[in-house]
Structure 1
Amino acid sequence: MTDVLNISLVGVGGQGILLASDILCHVALLTGKDVKKSEVHGMAQRGGSVISQVRIGEKVYSPLIAVGQTDILLSFEKLEALRFAHFLAPDGIAMVNNQEIRPVTVSSGQSRWPEDLDERLRNTFPRLELIPALDIARDLGNVRVVNVVMIGALSNHLDIEDAIWRESIRALVKPQYLDFNLKAFDAGKRAGSAVGV
């Protein structure tokens, strides 16, 4: 890694990727770091690909991460991890939510879903961490907190106190959803630790 940490958050529309990247940026700012973010929404409203790139460092000049320069690929869906694999640095870490969201083209028979997805992930990413974020969110009683479960898992890789992460979640999440999200962060942190961080 260089003096700038490059994190790409990827998934499909509706998974809360933009909130997750906002939390990450807020955390970086609270630690006194410079941070830049870029977003590409694609057909996000229809379940299309979404990517948010976050760069954190003492001084960051551009929000864009070049191909092969992502230190951590935080993917909210398995196939999206493969779609954006080319962004990951050779020594980068792929943190992937163990969830498959099949697009309409698959359910309508226009395209096929790869049956060997887990094997492809293992072959593509030497440093792969599969996070059961959807299962964790279901156990918590709210599948909409998958994004914060993934942020919790990510937090294991950044030397930032949990209190700062929790403060950022409090600042960005509506009060009625705060308890679920704080529990999701804690559960994600435990899950990330369990996969060998």
Structure 2
Amino acid sequence: MLKPIDVLMVGVGGQGTILASKVLAAVAQAVGYDIKVSEIHGMAQRGGSVVTQVRLGEKVYSPLISEGEADVILAFEELEALRWLSYLKPGGIIIINNQQIYPVSVLAGAAEYPQNIIPQVQSRGVNVQVLQALEHAIACGNAKAANVVLLGALAQKLPIEEKIWRDALAATIPPRLLEVNNAAFTAGFTAATSGTGC
């Protein structure tokens, strides 16, 4: 029997959250999960919030994850991690890319970006893994592969063998970009295990 898994991916426009959800969906289908995906774009092309809810199970009826029910939150940006933290279930894990992308309201001087977000999240008593996904992606050869670094970290936490993830990447990513993305995936997987990467 396939154990239900609810994954919340949160970030901002341009970070590749949608691609990451497509890879996860391909992985889930390959192992026989029923899957539902819900995407919310808040002015995504202009740096607004992008939230993708991915639910896996024997049979999934609703695409929406209730507050306090996410097994994993994959946060592509610090402020989005803080915004969506209440959706994490007790015993779940939040994987945070320690990157700060200022929203329009902050850039316009109408709001301030919160300070010390990572310590705030850690103080809530939740299982937190912080990743330097952008730095790993740059070291692997392409800053835009930070989303795949985060997927590697996610893969390390889910009970699905690595080869299935690699096959899903190969099926989703253009061939000319596959080598650098495979390296980024390895970096994330390794960093989630031992704290190292490319």
Q: TM-score, normalised by structure 1?
A: 0.94
Residue 123 of structure 1 and its aligned partner are, at CA, apart by 1.5
The C-alpha deviation readout for 1:3-23, integer Å capped at 9, x for no partner, is 421000000000000000000
1:61 and 1:15 mapped to 2: Cα distance? 28
1:150 and 1:107 mapped to 2: Cα distance? 26
Counterpart in the other structure of 1:71: 71
Q: How many residue pairs were aligned?
A: 194
Residue ranges of structure 2 left out of the alignment (5+ in a row): none
Residue ranges of structure 1 left out of the alignment (5+ in a row): none
The C-alpha deviation readout for 1:20-59, integer Å capped at 9, x for no partner, is 0000010000011111111001110110001100111111
Contact 1:85 1:124 in 2 (8 A): no
Counterpart in the other structure of 1:150: 150
2:125 and 2:106 mapped to 1: Cα distance? 25
Root-mean-square deviation (CA, aligned residues, Å) is 1.3
1:175-190 equivalence runs, <5 A: 175-190=175-190
Contact 1:94 1:125 in 2 (8 A): no
2:133 and 2:32 mapped to 1: Cα distance? 29
Q: TM-score, normalised by structure 2?
A: 0.94
1:63 and 1:113 mapped to 2: Cα distance? 31
1:23-102 equivalence runs, <5 A: 23-102=23-102
Residue 61 of structure 1 and its aligned partner are, at CA, apart by 1.2
The aligned amino acid for 1:184 is A
Counterpart in the other structure of 1:133: 133
> Post-superposition, which runs of at least 4 consecutive aligned residues in structure 1 deviate over 4 A?
none
1:104 and 1:59 mapped to 2: Cα distance? 40
Counterpart in the other structure of 1:18: 18
